[in-house]
Structure 1
């Protein structure tokens, strides 16, 4: 299974909204990748900027997979990749 960039953003929005007790629409996410830091996300909630590392992103995807697809997946089953856009491959 493959999650699109939009689904990764949705996963992070839902995850951070639950953690910060705001609506998912109040969360802005920008996905990033560079050779030095790997996969990261810039999250803005109520004017405050927070950076998520890959482990945080994987946690959000794990929770998203369970809540949206009723599938329990673990971090070693999720592989993030990027070309023109970022995606996540979910392996069984």
Structure 2
């Protein structure tokens, strides 16, 4: 299974909204990839920005897969890939 960058962004919005007790539409996400640091995301909530590391992105995807698809997915099954966009390949197991 493959999640698009939009799916990953949605997962992050929902995850951050639940943690900060705001609406998912109140969260803006910008996905990033850097040769030295790998995958990350910059989020904007209430006028403040924060950088999320890859582990936090993977956690958001795990929860999104469970909430949206009723699939229990573990971090070692999720592989972020830089294609034409950032995507998440999820191993079925």
Q: TM-score, normalised by structure 1?
A: 0.98
Moved runs in structure 1, 4+ residues, more than 3 A?
A: none
- Unmatched tracts of structure 2, length 5 or more: none
Matched, 1:81 2:78: no
Q: How much does 1:62 deviate?
A: 0.1
Match for residue 69 of structure 2?
Answer: 69
Q: How much does 1:84 deviate?
A: 1.7
Q: 1:68-87 deviations in whole A, cap 9, x for unaligned? A: 00000000000000122010
Q: Number of aligned pairs?
A: 92
Match for residue 22 of structure 1?
Answer: 22
Q: CA RMSD in A?
A: 0.5
- Unmatched tracts of structure 1, length 5 or more: none
Q: 1:29-79 deviations in whole A, cap 9, x for unaligned? A: 000001111000000000010100000000000000000000000000000
